[in-house]
Structure 1
Amino acid sequence: MNEAENILTQAINKDPQNAWLHLDYARLLLKKGDHHKANAVMNNLVATYPSPATWHSAIILASEQNHWKDVLNLIHKIPSGSQTAEITELKHRAKFNQQIDIAQHYIDSGNHNAALNTLKINIKSLPQNPADIGRLAQLYIDAGDSQMALNVIHQNLSVEPQGSLKDYTQQILILRRLGYFAEAESLMNSPALLATTSEKELNHIRAGYLSEQADLFREKGHLNEAWEILAPEIKNDPNNSQLLLAVARVYQSNDQPEQASDVYQYLLAISPKNQDALIGLVDLAINNDDSVAARKYFAEIKATNKTDYLILSARLAELEGHNTQALKLLKTAQWGLIQPQEQPTYLPVNHPLAGQILMHTQHNPRQKAQLDHIEMMLTDLQQKTSVALNNTIQVNSHSGESGLSKFTEIKKTLTLSLPLLDNIKLALSVSPSVISSGKTPAENASLVGSGALTRANRRSLVESASRANVHADEINSRSIQGLESNILLKGDNFQLDFGHTNSDGLIVSLVGGAEWSINTSPHSQLTLAAERRAVTDSQLSYSGLKDSVTGRTWGAVTRNTLSAQYAWDNSHYGTYAKVAANKYIGTHVPNNQSVDLNAGSYIYGINENNKTLKLGANIHYMGFDKNLNYYTLGHAGYFSPQKYIAVSLPISYEQKLDNLSVKLNSTVGYQSYTTESADYYPTDRQLQDELNSYTDNDEYIDTHYKKSSKNGISYSFGVETNYKISPSSFIGANVSYNTFGNYDETKANIYFKYLFDKDILGK
């Protein structure tokens, strides 16, 4: 290129008035990316040697850069009698493209309906130039009217193609994007167009064509197919920006951010300020939570009101903790996509449609994806920044023997969430609840409190033949009706909470916890937690019981936990592992320790914007020091096997249908556990010895819970639904059921949530 530049410079020095030498030199400068110098060459020529020839050459250069205002200004300098057929055609193209520029301005401003109004009002007939047809069709695509874009192209293709393949590039790409692959291939291989297309132009068009094809495969998750298309092409043309960008996108989708970054950096080295490369680097930095790098590259991107730019700005604002700013940017982008706009003010005021509104609600697939992304981000940010009122009704029921393991809870929770800072919320909850375990029939009363001693004593007072129907006294139904309360402070990567169990419980426990999460990579997260939680296996474990004979209270256990969890998900596969060390502390019951290990992995059968299907495998192990599973004095009424292992195959499917989302979960597995034998009264040697003494004369007196083992098939299923009634109100419900052997657990809740603008707090 330097040699050609030297030759042209020497030729111009010999013939400084030769307009066509200047045009060739300016074109060469444009190829080098030196637009300023190229335009200066032609401007100096026109100023120094004004003539129809110099104006003509300047017009051609301006048209090749789509500087249509300059084209018209230059044409006006040429006398009518000196205007050739080519000049006349360029005049028509310039007038047409000026209207297109107005529509493009509205597209760039996010005002799609104003763009459509401009096109529908001012484009009365289709242009003759196929490149202009392609530009017009692309504007219809960008404004959301794919059908009109297709109509424009089909009307143009109703006549024999003319010109070069380069002029039809945009039409070919649009046909492919809209799924008309056969028509795109036919146009691409048109003999008439190929005959007038240079090999260099053909390679450039082919690169764009194949990049689009690779993107289609990538978006569907077929990364191998995308790479098979790009690999040979990038080898032959390693500096092609379209191919390089497509390769970088494949690396990103394949969870290879370092390789993607290398490609973007290489592209910037050969094409400084390449906007797509900068956008890619910002996206990588945001995904990696690197706000410094994201801001650095973002500063080099040209600011516009385009939807993609606004979304990227919002993502960066959210990363930097500026959630309110992110909300404003997203709402601006959303407004531009969905709201009708007034006619442009600089159209003639006497135009019959000036000031009126043309409604348009169609969106092409790209715009639909943008709207879905905006909606998802808005929902997430509004949850963080809005004042929220949440009303939930919950039902939790464990099957079991009445008065023992049976447990039923009905709870109504009212939560008020208040934004303290852009990314921190305070939530205050009050929960009236009713908890009941039912009455304990006489035949089971010996399994509660000191009932075993009462039964043994009564049996000792009657003859052996009459002992079969001797029991402790029936225990009336025990229920509690009171309030729970909780205060929660939550940020993007932490939460702290503090509260208490039901105020009507025999023993009220203070509970709470702290949790902190850190993203260890763009696809992985480590979560550390310290918690003190009530154990809700039974009424005994939750709020404690009082023995009517001895007057003792016992139970009300809290689980005190330190845990670490690691999770990794690259949108194709996922894995997770959690380890927890627990200490169980209650009233007049032994302290207990356990270790809990849980790990699993899964694959995505489907992972699309509106639906996902995950299939996985999970293994769960836990082991307790002591068996405190029962209800006599000193036991705590919670499941505490010495060895427990479960292997399961979970499946989950989630789909979003406009404002409705539905999630289905199902698990089938195998469980096995062993519990060691335990004294009836592990904390009271005197009571235990007294019970033991009755066995001398009564072989049917039980003094120990026997060692036991159990295994079998378990399964569970659940349904969760959420519906967005309006941008500020939501309703949802979920039901879950799981069972193993004779044990069943059912949970259900329904909620209503309303978001208030935080301006009601004067913010």
Structure 2
Amino acid sequence: MLLKTGDDERVNQLLHELQRQPLTAADQRSYDELLYLYTVRQADLLREKGDLVAAYDTLAPALAQRPNDPVAVGALARMYLANGNTDKAIELYKPLLAKSPDDPQLQIGMAQALSKAGDHRGAEKAADRALELAPNDAMVLASAAGIFRAQGRNAKAGELYARALALQAPAKADANPFAGTVAANPFVGKSGQRSQSRLSEASPSQIPQPAQVQIAALAAEDEAPARGLSSNSLAMNDRAGGYDAQPLRRGFDDDSRLAVARPQDPQEEARKSMQTALDQIKQERSPRITQGVTIRTNDSESGLSKITDVETPLEISMPVGDDRIALRVTPVSLNAGGVKDSAKTRFGGPNEAQMAAAQALLGSSPDADQLNTALGVNGPAGRQKDTGVGLAVGYEMPELGLKADLGMSPMGFLYSTAVGGVSIDRAFREDSHFRYGASLSRRAVNDSLVSFAGAEDARSGLKWGGVTASGGRLQLGYDNSEYGVYGYGGMYKLQGHNVEDNTRLEGGTGIYWYLLNDDSEQLTAGLGVTAISYDKNQGNFTYGNGGYFSPQNFFSIGVPVSWSQRTDRLSYTLRGSVGLQHIEQDSAPYYPNDRNMQAALEQISQAYAASGSTLTTRYSGQNKTGIGYNFNAAAEYRLSNNYFLGGSFGMDNAQDYKQWTGGLYLRYMFEDFTGRMAMPVNPYLSPYSSSSN
């Protein structure tokens, strides 16, 4: 009974008392069984705390006594699974199931191993079988819930967690069974584990101390060097919960350690773990409404590349089974300012009648004023601004790592068109550090008013712009919580109205290190490289140009640094990067999409030259290298259990101007939020933000 209730200290004392007494044969068998089950339990608890070396040392005597018993072998298998060796876990587990196919503990253990190996169908089959065999076993229910949650099936996981909690049993949300034979400690020297085992000591105890006592005592010894008690010191590895440095010289049954232990009730810990998981699932599946406002502006040339973009996105997101659906409404207001006199020949252009009128003057040696009048150069180009409302529907399938959306760029703009995309982002398998991603999309290019909404030259009535980028991207990444690497590549076709088609190729790679990584703080630094190439220079604003940044070669290398921190109510992230960027842009004609118009312009330019004036017909290329930088900050604060206030700010330099972005949002969740804030914070952004595409 004491063992079932988790009173490990009392069991330990009882075992010591019985060890000193003469026992009958029947009593000795009961004693041996109790010691065996108690030993396996302590090994499991040590595994759950992350110290696989100590867990194996504790389990070794039990394995030696009963090398084929599923209880001890299952505990060893759980250690292999915790160490990421799913193949070994499955290998050990198969013979156990062959002998006892109707054992629910074995079935749920195999389910967990198959889930982490990426065999979701096999895991589901084994989990369903375990639930069929033990529908009222809280441990089985909680373990199955963990499997389904890892697969993104939160609705079923929530149901199982609720049933497990209702049973009020001392379940573990994270139990995994498999097996093996006793040999040298296989976890020594593994990532995050100690470099030395205690199996080589002369007299290992037959009655291991309670796991909580060992953990508390070892944690206390972490401070021993500062107190001059270095003879038995251990350095706590806070990343994996293991221990480095010197091996312990005390036996496992050293009663002096009981004085420093403050063990917690393992059953209560399990119930809290299940309740926390259930709360998180409810929060993840909660309907929510988010209203935001974002502002983007730059210091570029008025009427051309300058833009002030104000957006007020609204999102209503609802659960649909294990998936989510979202309705997005985004009013957008753009203002590029007025076209100045110095820029009038670099915006829009003359229509056919104006061009013909200018050509008709060529035989009479016209002066510049006559030509300007004929071409309509001196007239007002009109204030460049537009407003519209974008609509979209998004759908997310966490089980598969899939996201999709379909909508319209802001209706009310000069040009509005269908936009959307589909993407996948997931690990290769449940316990893998490798991830892959792929996406196909058609997105509005929002660099300028011309590219985003389209523009009209009031002098001629010419309309052009409204550019979209259609294509795909692939990416790979590796992250083991100590360092990460990534690489990506993509290709897009850019098309617009009365705009020359273009092609963009992009690629990048990088590496980063976690300088600090715990539950409440995270600091990373790395090195990133980006390369982009456009087929044509479309970064201008005369008729036929798209008005978006499009260098023929762009290369940057930077040193990114990121800092994140969270409390129970606040989470914030600061990111920045500084480095070098190199830009090459080809010379480009004024009217790249109309050869006849370009030829006429070049002919008329000769008349300007003859009159002592100039009319430029081509944009010059450029080749320059300079400092590139960017900085971003985001924060989210929990006002109450249902309301969250967030904000973001960013700045960067692009080409020959600086850009600033900022935003605020308020989110309401229908379910109470009782957990910790997410870290790093993921601020709510407009669907048209370049960071959200």
Short-chain TM bin:
0.5 to 0.7
Secondary structure in 1 matching 2:155: helix
- 8 Å CA contact retained: 2:381, 2:457: no
Determine if the alignment matches structure 1 residue 640 to structure 2 residue 550: yes
Taking the aligned partners of 2:622 and 2:62, their CA distance within structure 1 comes to: 66
Q: After superposition, give the CA deviation of every residue in 1:456-481 in whole Å (9 maximum; x if it has no partner).
A: 99997369xxxxxx985564532222
Normalized against structure 1, the TM-score is what? 0.60
Distance 2:324 2:282 in 1: 12
Indicate conservation of the 8 Å contact 2:158/2:281, yes or no. Answer: no
CA contact (8 A) 2:451 2:467 kept: yes
Distance in 1 separating the partners of 2:275 and 2:651: 34
Which amino acid is 2:288 matched to? A
Name the structure 1 match of 2:335: 436
CA distance in 2, matches of 1:305, 1:317: 18
For the pair 1:509 / 2:509, whether they are aligned, the reply is no
| 1:499 maps to 2:398 | no
- Structure 2 vs 1, CA of residues 612 and 506 (structure 1 numbering), >3 Å: closer, same or farther? same
Distance 2:542 2:490 in 1: 28
Partner AA of 2:314 in structure 1:
L
Contact kept, 8 Å, 2:97 with 2:103, in 1: the verdict is yes
Q: Which residue of 2 aligns with 1:751?
A: 665
Q: Residues of 2 paired with 1:495 and 1:295: CA distance?
A: 23
Counterpart of 1:400 in structure 2: which amino acid? S
2:123 aligned with 1:294, yes or no? yes
1:408 to 308, 317, 327: 308
The 8 Å contact of residues 166 and 202 in structure 1, kept in 2 or not, is answered as no
CA distance in 1, matches of 2:8, 2:324: 53
Contact kept in structure 1, 2:444 and 2:468, CA below 8 Å: yes
Alpha-carbon distance between aligned partners in 2 of 1:704 and 1:651, rounded to the nearest angstrom: 41
Q: Secondary structure at the match of 2:90?
A: helix
Asked if the contact 2:533–2:550 (Cα under 8 Å) also holds between the matched residues in 1, the reply is yes
Q: Which has the larger radius of gyration?
A: 1
Cα distance, 1:738 vs structure 2: 2.5
Partners in 1 of 2:20 and 2:76 — Cα distance? Answer: 23
Percentage identity across paired residues of the two chains: 25
- 1:681 aligns to what SS in structure 2? coil
Q: For the residues of structure 2 that align with 1:672 and 1:368, how far apart are their CA atoms?
A: 56
Q: What is the Cα deviation at residue 632 of structure 1? A: 1.1
For 2:126 and 2:556, locate their aligned partners in 1 and report how far apart those are by CA, in whole Å: 49
> 1:651 deviation in Å?
3.2
Counterpart amino acid of 2:535?
D
Q: Note if contact 1:438-1:476 (Cα within 8 Å) is conserved in structure 2.
A: no
Q: 1:382 to 1:215 in 2, by over 3 A?
A: closer
Instruction: Give the counterpart of 2:571 among 652, 658, 661.
Output: 661
> Are residues 644 and 747 of structure 1, via their aligned partners in 2, closer, same or farther at CA, if it must alter by over 3 Å?
same
Question: Which piece of structure 1 moves more, 309-318 or 398-407?
Answer: 309-318
Report the CA distance shift for 1:334/1:271 in structure 2 as closer, same or farther (over 3 A): closer
In 1: Cα distance, 2:477 partner to 2:541 partner: 38
Shift of 1:416: 2.3
Relative to structure 1, the CA distance from residue 238 to residue 640 in structure 2 (aligned partners, 3 Å threshold; closer, same or farther) is farther
Whole-Å separation in 2 of the counterparts to 1:602 and 1:306: 44
Q: Give how far 1:318 is off.
A: 4.1
Q: 1:388 and 2:288 equivalent?
A: yes
How far off is 1:165 after superposition? 7.5
SS at the partner of 2:113?
helix
In 1, Cα distance between the equivalents of 2:625 and 2:384? 32
Q: For 1:136-147, list aligned pairs within 5 A.
A: none
* Equivalent position of 1:397 in the other structure: 297
Residue 174 of structure 2 corresponds to residue 260 of structure 1:
no
Residues 227 and 543 from structure 1, CA distance in 2 versus in 1: closer, same or farther, beyond 3 angstroms?
A: same
In the TM superposition, what are the counterparts of 1:80-119 in structure 2 within 5 Å? 104=5
Q: 2-side partners of 1:710 and 1:238: how far apart?
A: 73
**Structure richer in helix, relative to its length:** 1
State the match for 1:313 in structure 2. Answer: 144
CA distance in 2, matches of 1:406, 1:364: 63
Structure 1 residues 562 and 272, CA gap change in structure 2 (3 angstroms): closer
1:216-260 per-position Cα deviation (integer Å, ceiling 9, x unaligned): 5x46xxx8x779979999998894989866765564455432133
SS in 1 for 2:158: helix
Report the Cα distance in structure 2 between the residues aligned to 1:303 and 1:623, rounded to whole angstroms: 60
Q: 1:374 to 1:291 in 2, by over 3 A?
A: farther
8 Å contact kept, 2:350–2:460:
no
Deviation of 1:630 after TM superposition, in Å, equals 0.7
In structure 1, how many angstroms separate the alpha carbons of the residues matched to 2:579 and 2:138? Answer: 47
Amino acid at match of 1:411: E
Which residue pairs with 1:760 in the alignment?
none
Tell me, in whole angstroms, the C-alpha distance in 2 between the residues paired with 1:412 and 1:265: 57
User: Within 1, Cα distance between the matches of 2:311 and 2:457?
Assistant: 26
In structure 2, distance between residues paired with 1:434 and 1:399: 18
1:502 is paired with a residue of what secondary structure? strand
Counterpart residue number, 2:210:
none
Deviation at 1:418, TM superposition (A): 3.7
Evaluate the alpha carbon distance shift between residue 246 and residue 325 of structure 1 in structure 2; reply closer, same or farther with a 3 A threshold: closer
Measure, in 2, the Cα distance between the counterparts of 1:292 and 1:628.
Answer: 50
Q: Which stretch has the larger CA shift, 477-486 or 545-554?
A: 477-486
Partner of 1:529: 439
Matches within 5 A, 1:600-639: 600-639=510-549
List per-residue Cα deviations over 1:563-603 (Å, max 9, x = no partner): 33334444444333332221001011111112122333434
C-alpha spacing 1:514/1:133, structure 2 compared with 1 (3 Å):
closer
Query: Could you tell me how far 1:446 is from its partner in structure 2?
Result: 2.5
**What is residue 10 of structure 2 aligned with on the other side?**
134
Q: Is the partner of 2:121 in helix, strand or coil? A: helix
Residue 441 of structure 1 contacts residue 474 of structure 1 at CA under 8 Å; is this kept in 2? no
Superposition pairs for residues 8-27 of structure 1, below 5 Å? none
Q: What TM-score results when the alignment is normalised by the length of structure 2?
A: 0.66
Aligned pairs, how many?
544
Q: Which residue number in structure 2 is paired with residue 489 of structure 1?
A: 395
Secondary structure at the aligned position of 1:590 is classed as strand
Residue by residue over 1:127-154, the C-alpha shift from the partner in whole angstroms, topping out at 9 and shown as x without a partner, is: xxxx88525x9xxxxxxxxxxxxxxx9x
Match of 2:17 among 135, 141, 163: 163
Letter in 2 for 1:749: G
Deviations 1:389-411 (A, max 9, x none): 22222222234222221222111
